[in-house]
Structure 1
Amino acid sequence: MIFVPVSRRLSALCLVLAGALLSACSSSPSPSEAPSSAAASSDDASPRLVLPTADMDFDYQIGGPYKPPSGVRAVSRDRTSAPADGLYNVCYVNAFQAQPDALDWWKSKHPDLLLRDDDGTGELVIDEDWDEALLDISTADKRERLADIVGPWIDGCADDGYQAVEPDNLDSYGRSDDLLKPADAAAFAKLLAERAHDAGLAIGQKNTAELLARHKKMGFDFAVAEECARYDECGDYASAYDDRVFVIEYRAADFTKACDTWGEQLSIVLRDLDVRPAGSKGYVREAC
């Protein structure tokens, strides 16, 4: 699904439409700070999407929710957490890998949807950085079945009052020992985007600059880019998404670089690698 680009400065009409939509949701931004809206499709009966605007002060809270710092207008939280009142809320969903605490459920209910080595051992393919088993998106049938599992999670985000969703680990194919291909990820992402749009949610591309050329075909509306300054990718995301990019840096030097170069255009935050809640030991949070 392709969306008409939304300018950074909202017209008066967009403000009226966004204000009317958001007043119905207790967790939505106020009309004066409302992100832009765009039609989900040409069908007038389809839900309308609320897109983030460029350079919204942002906080990344997927490690646990806490009161957003003053001035924050957008947050990302895990799907098991409630959205923040009055802000633009992005719902984090681990869509391409299995959470460690859910692995037993996957093994018992859907063992064939976990990616396994093809060397005869049948061992699970694991993202060793986060101890997460990869989901097997290698065939159309498995992608459809996985969409039937992940889809209700996305619906739940909408039911809870989120305005958007970020499906994580789009780049899991890069950790799959070549068992998965970029085309597999793009095809599954398209299914998730369709589900999100049907639920009235915008959907963000999580990392994976290698797939930016396919972002319209996949159906993404904005980006959530970790360490794009570190890897000199922020400009690529900014160009693809008209500056609707949430940037998370984990190193102070990269954060400074991001702010110096993109601080007037993109939403940039420095967080600790474990994205701990405020008040926890090791918590770090700064904005440009």
Structure 2
Amino acid sequence: MPSPSVRSLVAPALALALLAGCAGGGAPAPAPAEHEPTTSVSDAVGQDDAAPAPPPAGAGLDYQLGGAYPPPDGVTVVVRDVTDSPAGAGYDVCYVNGFQTQPDESGAWLRDHPGLVLRDEDGDPVADPGWPDELLLDTSTDAGRREIAEIVGAQVDACADAGYDAVEPDNLDSSTRSDGALTQGDNLALAALLIERAHARGLAIGQKNTVELGADGPALGFDFVVAEDCAVHDECGDYAAAYGTRVLEIEYDDAPGFTDRLADACTRGVSVVGRDRGLSTPDDPGYAFEPC
């Protein structure tokens, strides 16, 4: 599941893209579209020799999606939201919500692009059960995927323009929360477009969770993986099999065995950080940051 991302502002590039629009504000909600053939991994964009460099293996990591703050000593890889500036500590990763809406952007999607939001049989927007303020994007058609890729692509461009080194598009696994309306192939077809956009802007791009992809993740063109609580779910070995040490691992302190999980993670040669699940800032009483 994704961790919360606090956005006090909508990124200017996204705001322009949302206003540029497909459907007008008063348009009725369209019925869910029939699935179109999706791009297979073998047909999708592949990683080439000129792909941007992934984060350095085993570097000190911080995951700052709840708000930016000066990186702690020893941290050289920092993940921040697209609305925050890069940390400049060495290697900067930019978070965007690639397959769902951000809570404070859901209204703009419904107003300006109602046909790109997934609907249920009653025509109501489908929300993520774990994050009910986030709406699933409808990746089931080629036309829809291309429109979504342009809107999310504006955020990818904003990451590049701000000076980030890489981008992390969240919720690649949204199809598992769609009650069968979306398939993994639908989302991989959108992912291929985002990979192409990121690489064209000189950004590496990370797969977020979705361990079931196995070797198909790097084959599609993802340069590294961001794995949350992989020790809790016994998935770390699978990520290592696909990506080697090109892994950013976040272990949260509210799950059992936190200290042991973190100690074990620190032996694997990947970038690891222990954080509070709220990803709060140091002035918050719930803040936790545990490096290797």
Please state which band the TM-score falls in when normalised by the shorter chain. Answer: 0.7 to 0.9
TM-score (norm 1): 0.81
**After TM superposition, which residue ranges in structure 1, 4 or more long, deviate above 4 angstroms?**
1-4
Q: Deviations over 1:167-190 (max 9, x none)?
A: 000011111111110111111111
Distance change in 2, residues 1:263/1:111 (3 Å): same
- 1:103 equivalenced with 2:106 (yes/no): yes
Partner amino acid, structure 1, of 2:217:
H
Alignment partner for residue 201 of structure 2, among 176, 199, 202?
Answer: 199
Q: 1:269 aligns with which of 268, 273, 282?
A: 273
Q: Match for residue 187 of structure 2?
A: 185
Q: What percentage of aligned pairs have identical amino acids?
A: 51
Task: Name stretches of at least 5 consecutive residues in structure 2 with no aligned partner.
Answer: 1-44
**Higher percent of residues as helix:** 1
Q: Is the 8 A contact 1:187 1:218 kept in 2?
A: no
Cα deviation for residue 124 of structure 1 reads 1.1
Please list the CA deviations of residues 237-258 of structure 1 after superposition, one character each: whole Å capped at 9, or x if unmatched.
1121121101111136145224
Q: Paired residues, what number?
A: 245
Measure, in 1, the Cα distance between the counterparts of 2:128 and 2:275. Answer: 22
- Runs of 5+ in structure 1 lacking a partner? 5-37, 41-48
Aligned to 2:126: 125
Q: Tell which has more relative contact order, 1 or 2 (C-alpha 8 A, sep 6+).
A: 2
* Match in the other structure for 2:63: 60
Provide the rounded CA distance (Å) in 2 between the counterparts of 1:158 and 1:259: 34
Give the deviation of 1:260 after TM superposition.
1.6
Q: Deviations over 1:40-97 (max 9, x none)?
A: 3xxxxxxxx1321211110000110001000001000000000012320000001110
CA RMSD after TM alignment: 1.5
Partner of 2:13: none
- After the TM superposition, which of the residue ranges 250-259 and 133-142 deviates more from structure 2? 250-259
In the TM superposition, 1:133-282 aligns within 5 A as 133-251=135-253, 253-254=257-258, 256-282=260-286
CA distance in 2, matches of 1:262, 1:234: 12
Q: What letter corresponds to residue 189 of structure 2 in structure 1?
A: A
| AA at the equivalent of 1:163 | D
Q: Do the aligned partners of 1:166 and 1:203 also contact (CA within 8 Å) in 2?
A: yes
Q: Scaled by the length of structure 2, what TM-score is found? A: 0.80
The residue type paired with residue 85 of structure 1 is G
Contact 1:227 1:254 (8 Å CA) reproduced: no
Aligned residue identity for 1:104: G
